[in-house]
Amino acid sequence: MNVLIIAAKEIHQAIRNRWVLAATLLLAGLALSLTFLGSAPTGNVGVRALDVVVVSLSSLTIFLVPLIALLISHDAIVGEMERGTMLLLLSYPVARWQVLLGKFLGHLAVLAFATCLGYGAAVGALAATGSQIDNDSFLAFAAMVGSSVLLGAAFVAIGYLVSALVRDRGTAAGICIGLWLLLVLIYDMALLGVLALDQGRSISAAVLNALLLANPTDAYRLINLTGFANVSTFAGMAGLAQTSSLTIPVLLTALLGWTLLPLGLAALAFSRREL
Amino acid sequence: MTSTVRVSDVTKAYGRVEAVRGASFALGQGELVALIGHNGAGKTTLMKLMLGLIRPSKGAIEVLGDNPAAGEFAGRRQLGYLPENVSFDPALTGRETQAFYARLKREPVAKALDLLDAVGLGAASRRRVSTYSKGMRQRLGLAQALLGAPRVLLLDEPTTGLDPELRQTFYDIIARLAAAGATVLLSSHALTELEERAGRVIIMNRGIKVADGSINELRRLARLPTRIRLKVAGLAPSEMPTWAPQDTTCRRLNGHIVEIDAAPERKIELLHRATAAGNAVEDVDVVPPTLDELYAHFLRQSEQAP
């Protein structure tokens, strides 16, 4: 009950602060531009437009959704402490884990709303312009939207963990930007570099799989680019899809783990904090 | 008397600084207690300890049957708290804020909104908190602290930023709650305001409780002189009345006022002498030591003690 009260307030605040509007417009704008411009490289002949959209949108999601998630989550705890509102909230009959879970549900709802509506606009636009959308493509798209929300959940949880550990908002923001750069940009480049240097001598397939699961954005990428046969051909990942032993349930579990573990640790850190 | 808050030998250390050192006291039902001390004396720390926002380094605390340090919070439904420099989420309106806190305490929202009128927030309650002045935020802070007939009220500097009229209303509300059996712990710098209202005073200095009792008890303990002010006619500016005993301190305040420091047991004797036949005394004022003076006295005393 307390969790829902706090979640409702977070949503209310996000609507007031125009977070919901901004995130939805941003995602919808990008989704629509990718939908109409993105088919340029493949042309329109015989291409199932929605599959192309899935490939390009999921690549975009990897950059954008973690960023939005970290933006709304990094000051959830330390920011409220600095503003002094946490002091009052914790004098009420609520447990600290309820505060954290309530905020999480609220932020996740905001993110899910923005993603579903923003990306849904792309499907709507395609349908309106008379493109053929078959069931397979639609399934791949729905999975993309669902996993995008899950990716967002993971980064909201990571943001909370940072927020629960640091002393001030500036530090939280700095660390979150660093984490974003690391997980979204640097990790893959470093991994590629290591693989190129190693030439398959010491890094086995199992180690590679583990390394891919150790980054939520890679788990997300694999779900969307290799998970569906018709999509993976466009993504140029068909070869990888056949050899990879990382099935969708494994990848989803990894993403879920990336959500629950930081969330649990954040709750632990928050419960130990003095303010 | 049943105690609602028990603090037993509590010490709270931040690194090497001890914000509270070995404080013990119990607060009973219906008590209106003033917690006084200068900044950094440990007042806010004590309240945070009672709320479980921080954990004691030593000692134990019990609030409405809960151990706040262990994260127990069942009793907090009957607890109201107003932090020093209270702040709210700026994006929400006063009404929305109050409704949110009412839901957390499982109080009917309509009744909670009536409290906004009681603290005089009225029309402003439909505006966003970001537009509020300090005084208006303080009013909202009071309204949320009063939610749901609290049995314990912890108020940290509640009257800062309130105009005199609202101060009066505030103290009326507090007195009514205390009369109905609530424990009110109130920290403040405005000692003159508390003097006639607080049934009990706890004085803190550098984390140590240096005095605890009703104002009369503290006056007895402090043995500070009562000042007798006399308006004497026909006395030259530098002259002292002849009947004043040599062993008391007399001074001239202005043109025709004489002030005598009277030890508690000599008060009546001095009054007798002053009003004895033949003395040209036109008016008498008896001023017992104020809370300000008592506070200064106990502070001095604790500073001198090793």
> Confidence band (pLDDT; 50, 70, 90) for A73?
very high
Among A226-230, B93-97, B118-122, B190-194, which stretch is predicted with the lowest mean pLDDT?
Answer: A226-230
Residue-wise pLDDT for A10-61, tens only, equals 999 999 989 899 999 999 998 888 887 765 555 554 456 777 788 888 888 8
CA proximity to B50, closest of B37, B35, B38: B35
> Confidence band (pLDDT; 50, 70, 90) for B68?
confident
- For B53, the closest of A16, A93, A275 (CB atoms) is A275
Q: Are B12 and B56 in contact (CB under 8 A)?
A: yes
Average pLDDT over residues A170-178: 94
Residues of B in contact with A90 (CB under 8 A): 51-53
Share of chain A above pLDDT 90, in %: 51
- For A5, the closest of B55, B87, B104 (CB atoms) is B104
Residues of B in contact with A274 (CB under 8 A): 53-55
| Contacts of B169 by beta carbon, 8 Å cutoff, 6+ apart | B118, B119, B120
**pLDDT at residue number A45:** 44
Chain A: residue whose CA lies nearest to B52: A91
- For A84, the closest of B51, B83, B154 (CB atoms) is B83
Chain A: residue whose CA lies nearest to B104: A2
**pLDDT at residue number A238:** 56
> Confidence band (pLDDT; 50, 70, 90) for B277?
low
Average pLDDT, chain A: 86
**B211 pLDDT exceeds 80?**
yes
- Rounded to an integer, what distance in angstroms lies between the CA atom of residue A6 and that of residue B268? 63
- For B53, the closest of A12, A87, A94 (CB atoms) is A87
Average pLDDT over residues B7-35: 90
List the structure tokens of B5: 């808050």
DSSP conformation class of B128: B
**pLDDT at residue number A58:** 86
Residue-wise pLDDT for A135-171, tens only, equals 888 888 888 999 999 999 999 999 999 999 999 999 9
Chain A: residue whose CA lies nearest to B128: A16
- Asked if the C-beta of B234 comes within 8 angstroms of chain A's C-beta atoms, the answer is no
ipTM of this predicted structure: 0.86
CA proximity to B235, closest of B243, B246, B226, B247: B243
Q: Which residues pair with B11 in a beta bridge?
A: B58
> Confidence band (pLDDT; 50, 70, 90) for A67?
very high
**B204 pLDDT exceeds 60?**
yes
Average pLDDT over residues B71-98: 90
| Contacts of B68 by beta carbon, 8 Å cutoff, 6+ apart | B49, B50, B51, B52, B61
**B118 pLDDT exceeds 80?**
yes
Residues of B in contact with A88 (CB under 8 A): 81, 83, 86-88, 141, 144
Chain B: residue whose CA lies nearest to A14: B91
A93/B76 CB distance under 8 A: yes
H runs (alpha helix) in B180-305: 191-195, 215-222, 267-275, 291-304
- B positions 255-294 inside 8 Å of A (CB): none
**pLDDT at residue number A262:** 95
Q: How far is CA B127 from CA A5, A80, B108, B121, B123, in A?
A: 21, 21, 21, 10, 8
Average pLDDT over residues B220-231: 84
- Rounded to an integer, what distance in angstroms lies between the CA atom of residue A78 and that of residue A164? 6
